[in-house]
Each structure stands twice: as structure tokens, then as C-alpha cells.
Amino acid sequence: MSLDGTYDAGNIFAKILRGEMPAAKVYEDDHVLAFMDVFPQSKGHTLVIPKHSTARNFLDEAPEVVGPLMLGVQRVARAVRAALTPDGLVITQFNGAPAGQTVFHLHFHIIPRWEGVALGRHAEGMADAAELKELAAQIAAKIS
């Protein structure tokens, strides 16, 4: 998919927001929902999405949504750091299929990194649901 197109309300993140699909939730407020990536690139790979948006990517998002979204990303990233003590964090966002975007609902990835530990490939293998739930609880306990 290119950068342009029509929002698909049937995408997996829209289904999670509507409660039609499960997710290991980390954090939720009026503006954002954070949950564990089921195809993690590292332990603790977390996604943050806007709750009231039909933006396919960052370029489509309304400015009034961006501020609260970025505050949510920062809040969750700080909690991931506190809970898992990684050596670094990748905070990234993709726009369009050629850039690596696979779900066309605006979202940010928070990916913990440890020195000497290789980054996995996205969608290489599905994580264990119980492990994701445990990680979500550890991270949620550090939300301030």
C-alpha cells in the first residue's frame, strides 16, 4: 500500500479497539491504547495507537491527536525502560508499505534493545500469550 488510501475499519488494530480481538493491554487512557506486539522483535515490544483516529499513518493524523499520542508513547516508553531495564529503546513508526508498515492504522513501536542481543524479524514468530500478558503487567506496573 502506498502512503495514500482509504482507512480500513477492519484492520486488526481497529478490531482491538472495538474489543473484537484480544490484546495484552499495557496502558489505556482517553487518547491512546498500548499493548504488546504479538510478533515481537524483542522482549517487551510494545505498540501505542491512537484510540479515536482513522489515520493510516503519521502524515494523515490531525495535529490535535498527535500531542496526546506522543505523550502516551513517551509514558509507555518510560515504563518499558523501568520494567525491563534495556540498554536502549527503539521508538519507531512506519508510513506506507515500502517503509515497512503492515497495519494501516497509525501506531508506534517501542522496542527494547540489549547489548549483544540481535533484533528479531517482525512477524517471524508469534509470541506466547501468557508471556505477553505477564510482560504487559510488568510494564503497566511502572506507568506513572
Set of cell numbers at residue 90:
527503539
**How is the chain split into domains, by residue range?**
12-140
Q: Any idea which architecture 12-140 has in CATH?
A: 2-Layer Sandwich (3.30)
Interatomic CA distance for residues 115 and 122, integer angstroms: 19
- 15-71 pLDDT, tens digit each: 999 999 999 999 999 999 999 999 999 999 999 999 999 999 999 999 999 999 999
pLDDT band at 1 (very low <50, low <70, confident <90, very high): low
Would you please indicate which residues are annotated as catalytic (active-site) residues? Answer: 107
